[in-house]
Amino acid sequence: DQAPQGPSSIQPEHALPPAAAPPPAIALIPAPDEALPLPQPRPDMWTRFRDQRAWPVCEPSPGVERWIQRYAGSPERFANNLRPLLPAMDYVLTQSELQGLPSEVMLVPLIESYYRPDARGPGGAMGLWQLMPDTARRFGLGVHGSDDERLDLQSSTEAAMRLLSIHAQNFPTYPRLIFAAYNAGGYRVRKALAGRDFGPDVPLEKLGLSRITRDYLDKIKALGCLFGDPGRFDLHLPELFPGEQLTAVSTPFPIDPERLAERIGMEDGQIRRWNQQAWIRRATTPERPLLLPSALAAAATNTLASGDLPVATPRVATVEPAKDGQVHKVQAGDSLWTISRRYRVRLADLMHWNGLSKRSVLRIGQVLRLGAP
């Protein structure tokens, strides 16, 4: 094939030759067979999940089959319930990829909280990842009543990734134990394995793990089967469409996320789900960007640059003594401890008046007595 000519190799007719030949421009143009390959589109979320699993093959045991039936006994309903969770699931999968962790990490919040950032569990566990207060503090999260970073998708995911990475370092030849350690704690798993000779293919029931932890791993494997081979279970997985992936948008000054959502045409429920802490405080912080769908990132950036949004003042719960007959309606971010502090009542009394214990799970909208019935 004839090489293409550079722009300076063609001279007008009758033009005098130049005094010195210019550098050949053709050298700057790669030949066709040297052209750089076009970047490949990123695989979709489900393909990425299947390619990076710790359990690459679905091998249902009776326990796994039981959880497959529990999760997807109605495949259509299961798929519909997954649909609004996909942006957060993709975000968690991306973070696990950056840490080199198995893709089943994406399943952990599904099991722990069904991707609810305001979920409350027994013993004080909270958030998407159901982190305990001491664990959250250990990994740098603030745990301060309604201003609890476990409610934040980004902050809690960063902490969970650090914790899971430690488990991965402790069990480098058996990555499946990452999830056992997340459920039971690294110390308990190491203690259960002490003196045992095991490899990556040893059945989990032979590793001395508790029934609760084995059941937790069955849930991981069941969801892995459903997402890894959906056709086998007559499941049509929902699709994450372009523009729905979450991206971080910095706010140079505190703003009310609800007002931003109104300006850019975003549902309030979405911005609340992905930015729970900022939504509760009614104000962002410059240190913590908002997570928004990538399709709305440019509109959000332009709105912030316009200066039309007012500076927001963080909402702080006021402290007021409880009055006779007064009740409190549980809101997102509440805990028994924060409610008792707000109304200046003893935590033990608050639990007694409402028939609760420290393991009780509060529900949004639940009405609590603030005095003896």
- What gap in Å lies between CA 303 and CA 271, rounded to an integer? 16
Provide the H-helix boundaries in the chain.
Answer: 45-51, 62-72, 75-82, 86-98, 108-112, 133-138, 153-170, 177-184, 186-193, 211-228, 257-264, 268-274, 276-281, 294-306, 336-343, 347-353
Instruction: Mention every residue, 6+ apart, whose C-beta is less than 8 A from residue 202.
Output: none
Burial of 302 from C-beta contacts in 10 A (0-12 / 13-18 / 19+): exposed
Which of 41, 44, 107, 92 has its CA nearest to residue 238? 44
- What gap in Å lies between CA 258 and CA 187, rounded to an integer? 43
- Single out the catalytic residue among 112, 149, 267, 320: 112
Is residue 258 part of the annotated active site? The answer reads: no
* Torsion of the alpha carbons at 298, 299, 305 and 306, rounded to the nearest 10: 150
Quick one: how many helices (H) and strands (E) in the chain?
Answer: 16, 6
Radius of gyration of the chain (CA): 27
Give yes or no for a contact between 311 and 253, defined as CB atoms under 8 angstroms apart.
yes
| Number of Cβ within a 10 Å radius of residue 82 | 20
Alpha carbon distances (Å) from 366 to 314, 331, 343, 353, 369: 25, 8, 16, 14, 10
Give yes or no for a contact between 292 and 306, defined as CB atoms under 8 angstroms apart.
no
Instruction: Mention every residue, 6+ apart, whose C-beta is less than 8 A from residue 330.
Output: 339, 362, 363, 364, 365, 366, 367, 368
* Catalytic (active-site) positions: 112
